[in-house]
């Protein structure tokens, strides 16, 4: 059930004293759809239909791409669809709000539920510009054009105050040497380094902890002393200390890389840089 008939039925059930959850169950639709129409009057619904037609007109050239993404990946988010449309078309103009509402209407029409998202609260101290960066590593698996699994290793650095980001991919686990190489690329991208960098106690940089004293690998110890930044170490999942960078790695894994076909590591890094330049 869709469109005006569904709106009328929702209003009928409301008049009969139904609650929103019961109405959704009765009509076999998402409760979010019920909430959207629940307090609309006829005039507001007519205005909504006009705005929907306007959005549809603007978004119609992209309907095929969107339907292909939704039909292939039922759990794909509107944010990821918006990102892919912008990546595929440099001249793409519609706002994220237009895309989100258009995708929501398509899902409603096709009967494909919207994926549920779990928000994670992170509290991060605001610091002066240029003082602190955060670094984290990650890994995930994507498909190549032949359907073969390819494991991708992720390096991400974030400027704590400005939220500027840098990401770098490679096909092998990071070693002390490649970890340092990724730092050099990030410093070059940002045009300098920060005073302090926040990390996990990762094996690529930490040998052991002795009576509370951190012992770094010889390679990383030499690098940080030469480069001149101080190190702040924290636990593996510590939202108060490094929730910002963990959110970046999570986005790269669950949005940027999700459903992306692998065409080579150089191409992937080029696509990553394009992501960083998009507003």
Domains (ranges, CATH) in the chain?
3-110 (no CATH), 132-277 (3.30.420.10)
Cβ pair 261, 141 in contact under 8 A: no
Q: Which residue carries 């690329």 as its tokens? A: 185
Rg (alpha carbons) of the chain, rounded to whole number: 24
Task: Give 279's pLDDT tier (boundaries 50, 70, 90).
Answer: low
The whole-number average pLDDT for the span 116-136 is: 67
Of 278 and 5, the one with more pLDDT: 5
Question: If you average pLDDT over each of 37-46, 105-114, 225-234, 239-248, which comes out highest?
Answer: 225-234
pLDDT for res 197: 93
| Residue 211: pLDDT band with limits 50, 70, 90 | very low
Give me 129's structure tokens. 């510009």
Please name the helix (run of DSSP H) or strand (run of DSSP E) that holds residue 233, with its range, or none.
strand 230-234
- Percentage with pLDDT > 90 across the chain: 34
Interacting residues of 228 by C-beta distance below 8 A, sequence separation 6+: 193
Q: Which residues touch 198 (CB under 8 Å, ≥6 apart)?
A: 132, 133, 134, 135, 160, 232, 233, 234, 241, 242, 245
| pLDDT greater than 70 at residue 129 | yes
Please, what is the average pLDDT of the chain?
Answer: 83
**DSSP H or E run through 154:** strand 149-159
The residue count for the chain: 279
Looking at residues 269-273, what average pLDDT do you find? 93
pLDDT at 88 over 90: no
The yes-or-no verdict on residue 121 having pLDDT over 50 is no
Mean pLDDT of 208-217: 64
Pairing mode, strands 132-143 and 149-159: antiparallel
- Whether the per-residue pLDDT at 94 is higher than 90: the answer is no
Other Cβ atoms less than 10 A from the Cβ of 31: the count is 15
- Average pLDDT estimate for 240-269: 89
Global confidence as pTM: 0.64
Strands 196-200 and 132-143: parallel
For 159-168, 229-238, 251-260, which range has the lowest pLDDT when averaged over its residues? Answer: 229-238
Distance CA 211, CA 225 (A): 22
Q: Which of 56-60, 130-134, 168-172 has the highest mean pLDDT?
A: 168-172
Confidence of residue 119 (pLDDT cuts 50, 70, 90): very low
User: Phi, psi (5° rounding) for residue 237?
Assistant: -120, 100
CA dihedral sign, ordered 99, 104, 109, 110 = positive
The H-assigned helical ranges of the chain are 3-15, 20-27, 31-38, 42-59, 63-72, 78-88, 96-110, 176-190, 218-227, 239-251, 265-277
More confident residue, 1 or 160: 160
Nearest Cα neighbor of 129 from 188, 197, 194, 199 is 194
Sorting pLDDT into bands at 50, 70 and 90, what band is 58?
confident
CA–CA dist 214, 208 (Å, integer): 6
Q: What is the pLDDT of residue 112?
A: 74
């Amino acid at each position: 059930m869709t469109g005006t008939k569904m709106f009328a039925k929702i209003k009928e059930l409301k008049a009969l004293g139904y609650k929103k959850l019961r109405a959704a169950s009765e009509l076999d639709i998402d409760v979010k759809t019920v909430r959207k129409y629940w307090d609309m009057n006829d005039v507001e619904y007519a205005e909504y239909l006009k705005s929907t037609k306007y959005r549809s007109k603007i978004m119609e050239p992209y309907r095929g791409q969107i339907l292909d993404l939704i039909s292939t990946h039922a759990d794909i988010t509107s944010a990821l669809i918006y990102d892919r449309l912008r990546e595929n078309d440099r001249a793409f103009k519609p706002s994220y709000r237009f895309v989100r509402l258009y995708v929501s209407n398509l899902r409603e029409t096709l009967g494909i539920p919207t994926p549920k998202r779990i928000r994670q609260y992170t509290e991060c101290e605001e610091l002066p510009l240029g003082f602190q960066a955060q670094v984290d590593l990650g890994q995930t698996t994507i498909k190549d054009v032949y359907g073969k699994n390819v494991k991708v290793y992720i390096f991400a650095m974030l400027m704590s105050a400005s939220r500027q980001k840098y990401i770098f991919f490679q096909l092998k686990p990071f070693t002390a040497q490649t970890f340092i190489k990724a730092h050099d690329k990030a410093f070059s991208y940002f045009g300098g380094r920060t005073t302090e960098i926040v990390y996990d106690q990762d094996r690529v940089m930490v040998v052991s902890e002795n009576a509370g004293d951190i012992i770094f690998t010889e390679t990383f110890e030499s690098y940080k002393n030469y480069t001149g930044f101080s190190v702040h170490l924290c636990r593996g999942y510590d939202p108060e200390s490094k929730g910002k960078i963990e959110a970046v790695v999570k986005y790269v894994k669950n949005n940027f890389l999700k459903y992306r076909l692998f065409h080579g590591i150089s191409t992937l890094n080029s696509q990553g840089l394009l992501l960083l330049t998009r507003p």
